[in-house]
Amino acid sequence: MKKKMSMVVGALVIAAVAVAAAAGGLHSKSHKQATVTIAFLPKAVGIPYFDVAASGGRQAGKELGGKFKQVGPTETTAPAQISWINTLTQQRVSAIAISANDPNALVPALKRAMSRGVKVVSYDSDVAPAGRSVFVNQTRAKDFGVAILNSLAKQMRFKGDFAILSTTTTATNQNTWIKFMKQELRKPKYKGMKLLKIAYGLDQDQPSYQQAQGLLTAYPKLKGIIGLSSVALPAAARVLEAQRKAKKIVLTGGSTPNQMRKYVKDGTVKEFVLWNVKDLGYLTYYAAYDLIAGKIKGKTGETFKAGHLGTRTIRKNGEIVLGPPYVFNRSNIDKFNF
Residue 56 belongs to domain with CATH number: 3.40.50.2300
Is residue 296 situated within a structural domain? yes
Is residue 327 situated within a structural domain? no
Evaluate if residue 3 carries a pLDDT over 70. Answer: no
Evaluate if residue 46 carries a pLDDT over 60. Answer: yes
Contact status, residue 134 vs residue 318, Cβ threshold 8 Å: yes
- The residue among 305, 328, 260 whose CA lies nearest residue 63 is 305
Based on the fold, state whether residues 192 and 83 are members of the same structural domain.
Answer: no
Q: How far apart are CA 46 and CA 43, in angstroms?
A: 10
Is residue 329 situated within a structural domain? no
Evaluate if residue 335 carries a pLDDT over 80. Answer: yes
Evaluate if residue 133 carries a pLDDT over 80. Answer: yes
pLDDT confidence of residue 328: 97
- Mean pLDDT along residues 20-27: 34
Q: How far apart are CA 10 and CA 22, in angstroms?
A: 18
Evaluate if residue 29 carries a pLDDT over 80. Answer: no
Q: How many CA atoms lie within 13 A of 81 on its CB side?
A: 28
Q: How far is CA 74 from the centre of its chain?
A: 17
Is residue 167 situated within a structural domain? yes
One-letter-per-residue 3-state SS of 198-254: EEECCCCHHHHHHHHHHHHHHCCCCCEEEECCCCHHHHHHHHHHHCCCCCCCEEEEC
Where does the pLDDT of residue 1 fall: very low under 50, low under 70, confident under 90, or very high at 90 and above?
Answer: very low
Q: Which domain holds residue 103?
A: 33-138+277-322
Evaluate if residue 10 carries a pLDDT over 70. Answer: no
- The residue among 136, 137, 103, 97 whose CA lies nearest residue 118 is 97
Q: How far apart are CA 234 and CA 245, in angstroms?
A: 14
Neighbour-count burial of 244, counting CB atoms closer than 10 A to its CB (0-12 exposed, 13-18 middle, 19+ buried): exposed
Average pLDDT across the chain, whole number? 91
Q: How far apart are CA 129 and CA 70, in angstroms?
A: 22
pLDDT confidence of residue 36: 94
Is residue 335 situated within a structural domain? no
pLDDT confidence of residue 59: 98
pLDDT confidence of residue 35: 76
pLDDT confidence of residue 82: 98
Based on the fold, state whether residues 101 and 179 are members of the same structural domain.
Answer: no
- Mean pLDDT along residues 88-94: 98
Non-local (6+) Cβ contacts of 29 within 8 A are 65
Evaluate if residue 17 carries a pLDDT over 80. Answer: no
Q: How far apart are CA 224 and CA 253, in angstroms?
A: 11
Based on the fold, state whether residues 102 and 204 are members of the same structural domain.
Answer: no
Based on the fold, state whether residues 267 and 182 are members of the same structural domain.
Answer: yes
Evaluate if residue 55 carries a pLDDT over 70. Answer: yes
Total domains in the fold of the chain: 2
The bridge status of strand 311-313 relative to strand 303-305 is antiparallel
- Mean pLDDT along residues 270-280: 97
Query: pTM value?
Result: 0.85
Secondary structure (3-state) at 295: coil
Q: Over pLDDT 90: what percentage of the chain?
A: 90
Q: How far apart are CA 297 and CA 292, in angstroms?
A: 9
Where does the pLDDT of residue 19 fall: very low under 50, low under 70, confident under 90, or very high at 90 and above?
Answer: very low
- Mean pLDDT along residues 212-226: 98
The helix or strand, by DSSP H or E, that contains position 9, with its residue range, turns out to be helix 2-28
pLDDT confidence of residue 172: 94
Contact status, residue 136 vs residue 280, Cβ threshold 8 Å: yes
Is residue 5 situated within a structural domain? no
Is residue 180 situated within a structural domain? yes
